């Protein structure tokens, strides 16, 4: 039996997302996680401690907060997506070491940038599996694991099933 873990929506770099307890800021100084982030971080550490070796890790979008163009980065402690990515990779590294394979699915363009550029860069940096098109991430993953099919996407813009059964 294969062990598979799917996780998403870290939003690292946001005041509301998961982040390390202390982050060195590129302009100098440090950001210390707020009370809510420390709570999330404690639960994250519990997950890391609980999860055994896994066969497949599915990272399903919105790894970072992104540029936050609607809020003009007022809800981020790290405005630069590259710095957000470094903090995300620090967080995800313990799970990467437990996983035989990692697949990355792009999230929303609001967080993962146009065409999922940030997700692609992160996926390449962490050594995610390549997709059939040669990239390291994609919008919709169809994965066959020993005859069990996984249909994985971060979100959908329109229903692709019967009209009465879209995600609510």
Please spell the DSSP secondary structure of 9-60, one letter per residue.
---BTBTTS---SEEE-TTSSEEE--HHHHHHHHHHHHHHHH---EEEEEEE
Q: What pLDDT is stored for residue 113 in this prediction?
A: 62
Kindly state the average pLDDT of the residues 125-149.
Answer: 92
pLDDT 10s digits, 19-69: 999 999 988 999 999 999 999 999 999 999 999 999 999 999 889 988 776
Q: Is 51 within 8 Å of 98 (Cβ atoms)?
A: yes
State pTM to two decimals. 0.86
Provide CB contacts within 8 A for 132, sequence distance 6+: none
Highest mean pLDDT among 4-13, 62-71, 136-145: 4-13
Q: Is residue 74 pLDDT above 80, yes or no? A: no
């Amino acid at each position: 039996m294969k062990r598979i873990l799917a996780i998403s929506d870290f939003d690292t770099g946001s005041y509301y997302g998961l982040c390390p307890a202390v982050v060195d800021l590129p302009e100098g100084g440090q950001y210390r996680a707020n009370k809510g982030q420390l709570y999330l971080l404690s639960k994250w550490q519990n997950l890391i401690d609980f999860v055994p070796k896994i066969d497949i890790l599915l990272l399903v979008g919105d790894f970072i907060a992104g540029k936050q163009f609607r809020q003009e980065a007022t809800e981020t402690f790290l405005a630069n997506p590259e710095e957000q990515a470094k903090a995300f990779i620090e967080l995800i590294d313990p799970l990467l070491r437990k996983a035989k394979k990692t697949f990355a699915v792009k999230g929303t363009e609001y967080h993962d940038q146009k065409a999922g550029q940030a997700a692609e860069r992160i996926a390449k940096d962490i050594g995610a599996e390549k997709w059939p098109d040669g990239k390291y991430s994609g919008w919709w993953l169809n994965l066959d694991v020993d005859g069990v099919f996984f249909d994985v996407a971060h979100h959908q813009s329109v229903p692709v099933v019967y009209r009465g059964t879209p995600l609510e």
